[in-house]
Chain A
Amino acid sequence: NAGVTQTPKFRVLKTGQSMTLLCAQDMNHEYMYWYRQDPGMGLRLIHYSVGEGTTAKGEVPDGYNVSRLKKQNFLLGLESAAPSQTSVYFCASSPLAGGPNEQYFGPGTRLTVT
């Protein structure tokens, strides 16, 4: 049982390049989330999904796209990377949306855009 995994762990991009971050969970969770963490700002929600085939915008969605074609996978895409997207990206999943159900986090992906 690996929990939530993220690929890759580190990446350096040049401005304008594109990439996809992969999140996978093996807990059969319905809900999945992408956050970014910047110094002094905590975690901010980029996009989320309430089930296979669904996605929705979070607090800071601009410049990102997501897809959830399979229940266990949630992909985050950057079509044209910008230095402002330098951050640590966390994926999380949760079985239910309410109550004491915490979100389970992946180990993070450190992205640098030069």
Chain B
Amino acid sequence: AQKITQTQPGMFVQEKEAVTLDCTYDTSDPSYGLFWYKQPSSGEMIFLIYQGSYDQQNATEGRYSLNFQKARKSANLVISASQLGDSAMYFCAMREIYNQGGKLIFGQGTELSVKP
């Protein structure tokens, strides 16, 4: 069964430094997609970045990059130059490409706190 694991319940980072949020996944499907969402204290879910299992390069979106290591089944989110506004919950999610309905499986989340 597909599963997403985020082993860091909480993380602290100093403003302007980089931080890595861990995500490991388990699937038997050769085709899948990995997503990261941000949930600030206001509660909304904000899409950050996507990585497909066949993508040759790691995905990047501005200050966000995804360190995708397929053999290790990890998809860590790297945030460069942290800002106070990055303080939030971060969720890793996976979708097997051929699952009916495009369902997402979410990890438990990591709460990131950025210190000034």
Contacts and interface: CB of A to CB of B under 8 A. Distances in A.
Q: Decide if A and B are genuine partners.
A: yes
Interface of A: 31, 33, 35, 40-45, 48-50, 56, 58, 88, 90, 92, 94, 96-105, 107-108
A42 B109 contact: yes
The 5 tightest CB contacts between A and B, nearest first, are A97-B102, A105-B45, A42-B106, A102-B47, A43-B106
Given A40-B108, A100-B50, A102-B47, A58 B103 contact: yes
- Residue of B35, B44, B93, B103 ringed by the most chain A CB atoms within 10 A: B103
A74 to B, nearest CB: 12
Contacts of A99: 33, 52, 97
A42 B110 CA distance: 10
A35 B105 CA distance: 10
Given A41-B108, A100-B50, 17 more contacts: A31-B101, A31-B102, A42-B106, A43-B45, A43-B93, A45-B103, A50-B100, A92-B45, A97-B102, A98-B97, A100-B52, A101-B102, A102-B35, A102-B50, A105-B37, A107-B44, A108-B44
A99 B6 CA distance: 23
Interface string B74-116: 0000000000000000010101011111111111110000000
Interface residues of B, number: 28
B101 A97 contact: yes
A45 B45 CA distance: 15
B102 to A, nearest CB: 3
B101 A42 contact: no
B104 A45 contact: yes
B43 interface: yes
B44 A105 contact: yes
Contacts of B33: 98-100
21 contacts: A31-B102, A33-B103, A40-B108, A40-B109, A42-B106, A42-B107, A43-B93, A44-B106, A58-B103, A88-B43, A97-B99, A98-B95, A98-B97, A98-B102, A99-B52, A101-B102, A102-B35, A103-B47, A103-B104, A105-B37, A105-B45
